[in-house]
Amino acid sequence: MLHYCKKCGRVLSNPEECICDVCHSKIYPVPERYWLDGLDFLISAQQKQLLRQELVETSDEFDPELYANRDIIRRRNSAEVERVLSGIDFSGKGNGVSRSNVLRCPTCNSTKIRGIGGGERVASVAMLGLFSKKINKSFQCLSCGYTW
């Protein structure tokens, strides 16, 4: 199902959590009138623009600067995660990674992070099935509990 963020205007298809992946604000279901051919997972570029004009830009939560830069922020966040992941040693032996390469929680900026192992994900999926919150997640913040 499609969701949108009132703060930055991001439209997400089947989000894993009820928060925006750009600004970490609450996201809301896209009303049916914006769906493409009545399908709750498709939206045309015109309908997406109309949704942003009617629901996002008129919202009290709307941040014009964030809206204008959301794609840049997404690319920067993605590049930062990739950069950090490339320097992490999960063997526990240490690899001399400097403080600037320390992985941080995208929600609370904490460095208290742990990797979610494959066995833990398999066990979670085995117990909860598709309702498992650990599907496609690699890390968990020990401070706020956020997983990504």
pLDDT computed for residue 69 by the predictor: 87
Residue 21 sits in the same domain as residue 63 = yes
**Rg of the chain taking only CA atoms, in angstroms:** 18
For the whole model, what pTM was predicted? 0.52
Residues 79-111: tens digit of each pLDDT: 777 777 776 655 555 554 444 567 788 888 888
Does residue 43 share a domain with residue 99?
A: no
Residue 6 has a pLDDT of: 92
Considering the domain architecture, whether residues 61 and 118 belong to the same structural domain is answered as no
Strand partners, 12: 3
Host domain of residue 123: 94-148
Domain boundary among the residues 67, 82, 111 is at 67
CA 139/CA 104 separation, integer angstroms: 10
Q: Is residue 20 part of a domain?
A: yes
